Amino acid sequence: MNKRSFAQNTAFGIFWLTGATAVLIMVFVVGYIMVKGLPGISADFFTTSPRGGLSGEGGIYSTIVTTFYMIVVTLAFATPLGVGAAIYLTEYSANTESRVVRKLVILARFGVETLAGVPSIIFGLFGYALFVTALNMGFSILSASLAGACLIIPVIIRTTEEALKSVPAGYREGSLALGANRWETTWKVVLPAAFRGISTGVLLSAGRIVSETAIFFVTLGGSYRVPHSLMSGGRTMALHVYYLAMETRAFDKAMSTAAVLVGMIILMNLIINTITSRISAKQG
């Protein structure tokens, strides 16, 4: 018995250690960025745009604006498509008899899974070749958000599907029994009930856009001016970190921008977790 409990204690000790290591890595990475980055952050940092070419002076105002535009435009492309796809996959094709529809669903799922695995540099390459060059959209918010939409469509589909599945079947049956058709049921009953779940998916996608660098590196151009139309180029905050670290003398600014980025991600995670725990509290 002693030997057995010794084995158990040793093994559990190791598992505690790995768990602690994961936390420590997070604390170290986030802590390092914050300690190096926070001292450089002031109100000015948020309200002035980058300037001064090589010296990397100025703040991050225009990169915040560009990041915001990128989130809005990319979501505008991806959300309707992603939510629509999820509705079809969960609401319309669940109990179908038709073999054609079943084949379509298998095909669609294959597409979603494949798309989810495509590395972002391929989206960038594709966006560069198709939108930037062939369709003459140039380095622009439009080109970049079309390429970026490919990245987040699978995220939205997956989270929306989860949200739709968690809506109790009774809701649908009730609505259908009252004479509503499938679309009316979906639109008026299922979607409102799944709203919180879907919004976490949208928020998660916004986080992916904030973090993404590779796609925008080859499609957005990197101009640090405030964009004034869909055809303007721009620089997101993540891209700004790259440019600052690689092109300028301002490593400290790169750290400060990274700290703001990490802060944003922490905030988004907190919001998502709050929404999710409310959902499970409601269901529990």
Minimum separation from the CB atom of position 100 to another protein (A): 11
Minimum separation from the CB atom of position 42 to another protein (A): 21
Q: How far apart are CA 112 and CA 128, in angstroms?
A: 22
Minimum separation from the CB atom of position 54 to another protein (A): 4
Of 59 and 124, CB closest to another protein: 124
Residues 6+ apart with CB under 8 A from 134: none
Minimum separation from the CB atom of position 169 to another protein (A): 19
CA-to-CA separations, 174 to 34, 127, 162, in angstroms, rounded: 52, 45, 21
Of 73 and 198, CB closest to another protein: 73
Q: What angle do CA 221, 224, 226 make, to 5 degrees?
A: 110
Q: Round the CA-based radius of gyration of the chain to a whole number and report it.
A: 23
Of 166 and 213, CB closest to another protein: 213
Nearest to 264, CA basis, from 212, 207, 224: 207
Q: What angle do CA 29, 158, 147 make, to 5 degrees?
A: 70
Cross-strand bridge partners of residue 57 = 51
CB-CB contact of 108 with 235 (8 Å) = no
Of 262 and 279, CB closest to another protein: 262
Minimum separation from the CB atom of position 71 to another protein (A): 10
